[in-house]
Structure 1
């Protein structure tokens, strides 16, 4: 999948801009605040129907305006694809592919395989389990519609169950039959989610190990463990029953696949607690390139790779290695953002015969 042209209207800091892309390497440069990250985010928006950095849609509209539009022209093998996402305040977001509206934006997920690496990804290491579940869900959902459908339904049931728990507390009442309706749905959907996550991690671990060794030039052994309440010997229904008192007290569902987590370790020690900055950085980059490898091998296409402020994460030798991989066709199309044009071009020149430098200070 190759992005040929991107057009924005009233998206974040841009009034209007149109950019044509090189099929391999595109370098967005300029001072901080000029909009480099926003360009990459617009590409992500076309792939996932939402911003990577701010999921509140209305806050992606340029200040003082009431709508935005993002339009991308793609090349998929011999086919041309046009994807448009737009939003007007007070209305629902719309997505179109080749002129046809999607009834649900979730139907579009997986059409444009994409991997993004950003400084904000450090949250994968440092923050709570929700961030790591989102990472896992994002990888699996790009190629598994059944998983995405089960996940969306599960989250809806979870929200309804939580609302019922709050209703019980507010009205000092309890109806076990009503609660069991949601419990049964959570068990059925949760089992699908668990099985697919478990299978994914089993396949993903050796890919991650290989990438970590390449990126860190290290013989350290890393591990990735999927932790879920489904791993307990008790049945899931028993777990829900035993946790009911806690749920009623907290007015929230405390047991289920929405509590799953990924455990990152190096040499049997927690990356979060004991990993050096270099180890954390290497583990994170390995995760993202393993994601790329997984999507590429499973779904037969080379995802678009977005590297936001990559020099914040890797030294020039590592960036040079990545650019070399792209040039030698191991990877597909890549977009890089950086504040230093000379530094970026020097690294790219060493490895690429053709590329495009886009200085946004000259574009807006």
Structure 2
């Protein structure tokens, strides 16, 4: 799968700009603030129908404009595919594929497989469990539409159950029958989600460990562990055991929406004991493993975005990472960096074709 061209209108800092791309490696270079990351985010937007960095649609529209349009022309399985994401202030976003709008955004997820590696990924280590769950769910959803559908249904039931718990408190009442209906539905959907997450991680973790060893030459030992109360008990039992607690808190305190991943290096939490370089290598290995998994499931080379790849990594390690993608196992690659000479120096050493796209302040106007 190849992104042949990209067109932006009123997207973030760009008023109007067009790009044609190399089939292998494309490097956006320029000073901070010229929009390199915004271009990568536009490509991400075409795959997922949302920004990687700012999910609030209106904040992705250029200042003093009423709308944005992101258009990408792809070549996939010897066919041209045109995808357009557009939004107007105060209206719902629209995603079109070859001129036809999707009824729901979830139908589009997985059609254009993509993986992004960015300094913002550090949130996976530093932020709460919600960020890590979204990572797991995002990887699985790109190749399993039924999983995404189940996840949406589960989240809706959690929201409804939470509203009911608040209603009980406000009205000083209790309806065990209605609560039981929600418990049964959460048990049904939650069990499916737990089983699919567990099966995914059983496959994913060895891939991740192998990728980390390749990046670091095996100098450290890392681990990834799935933490879920459903490993020890079924969700229906957990919900029944926690009814009193849930009524007091006015929200659902147990379930797969509370699952987490633990990240460790040499047996210790990487958040506390990992250096910036180790954390960066950990996250890159995580994302390259995501690439491997999605490719295996979809039989398509995902597009790979490397945002500010030199951040907190020395040039030798960056060169090693670029070499990892210097074969037919990877497809199209997009890189952003502040130093054109440094980027070209690295990509020149590998055998793939490449294109250097220099951005300046006036590109955005």
TM (norm. structure 2) is 0.96
2: CA distance, partners of 1:272 / 1:24? 34
1:37 is displaced (CA, Å) by: 0.5
1:176 is displaced (CA, Å) by: 1.2
1:279 is displaced (CA, Å) by: 2.2
Corresponding residue number in structure 1 for 2:300: 301
Distance 1:321 1:330, change over 3 A: farther
Corresponding residue number in structure 2 for 1:161: 161
Corresponding residue number in structure 2 for 1:123: 123
Deviations 1:154-207 (A, max 9, x none): 111111111111222222222111212211111100011001000000001110
Corresponding residue number in structure 2 for 1:319: 318
Deviations 1:47-102 (A, max 9, x none): 00100000111111111111111100001131111001111112111111111110
Superposed, 1:139-218 pairs within 5 Å as 139-218=139-218
1:108 is displaced (CA, Å) by: 0.2
Find the residue that maps to 1:312 and give its secondary structure: coil
1:29 is displaced (CA, Å) by: 0.9
Q: Does 1:328 align with 2:309?
A: no
Corresponding residue number in structure 2 for 1:13: 13
Is the Cα–Cα contact under 8 Å of residues 117 and 308 in structure 1 kept in the other structure? yes
1:2 is displaced (CA, Å) by: 0.6
Corresponding residue number in structure 1 for 2:133: 133
RMSD: 1.3
Corresponding residue number in structure 2 for 1:86: 86
The size of the alignment, in residue pairs, is: 363
Runs of 4+ in 1 over 3 A off after TM superposition: none
Deviations 1:290-320 (A, max 9, x none): 1111111222111100000110042212222
Is the Cα–Cα contact under 8 Å of residues 154 and 189 in structure 1 kept in the other structure? yes
Distance 1:326 1:168, change over 3 A: same
1:328 is displaced (CA, Å) by: 2.3
Find the residue that maps to 1:33 and give its secondary structure: coil
Is the Cα–Cα contact under 8 Å of residues 147 and 193 in structure 2 kept in the other structure? yes
TM (norm. structure 1) is 0.97
1: CA distance, partners of 2:363 / 2:62? 17
Corresponding residue number in structure 2 for 1:62: 62
Q: Which deviates more from structure 2 when the two are superposed, residues 348-357 or residues 155-164? A: 348-357
Corresponding residue number in structure 2 for 1:253: 252
Is the Cα–Cα contact under 8 Å of residues 324 and 352 in structure 1 kept in the other structure? no
Superposed, 1:346-357 pairs within 5 Å as 346-357=345-356
Corresponding residue number in structure 2 for 1:343: 342
Is the Cα–Cα contact under 8 Å of residues 9 and 17 in structure 1 kept in the other structure? yes
Q: Which deviates more from structure 2 when the two are superposed, residues 236-245 or residues 197-206? A: 236-245
Corresponding residue number in structure 1 for 2:223: 223
Is the Cα–Cα contact under 8 Å of residues 14 and 363 in structure 2 kept in the other structure? no
1:219 is displaced (CA, Å) by: 4.1
1: CA distance, partners of 2:74 / 2:306? 19
1:268 is displaced (CA, Å) by: 2.1
Is the Cα–Cα contact under 8 Å of residues 24 and 352 in structure 2 kept in the other structure? no
1:262 is displaced (CA, Å) by: 0.7
Is the Cα–Cα contact under 8 Å of residues 25 and 352 in structure 2 kept in the other structure? no
1: CA distance, partners of 2:150 / 2:200? 15
2: CA distance, partners of 1:329 / 1:316? 23
Q: Which deviates more from structure 2 when the two are superposed, residues 276-285 or residues 98-107? A: 276-285
1:218 is displaced (CA, Å) by: 2.2
Gaps of 5+ in 1: none
2: CA distance, partners of 1:329 / 1:363? 33
2: CA distance, partners of 1:360 / 1:124? 30
Is the Cα–Cα contact under 8 Å of residues 113 and 294 in structure 2 kept in the other structure? yes
2: CA distance, partners of 1:63 / 1:164? 41
Deviations 1:28-50 (A, max 9, x none): 11111111000000000000010
Distance 1:321 1:77, change over 3 A: farther
1: CA distance, partners of 2:152 / 2:123? 23
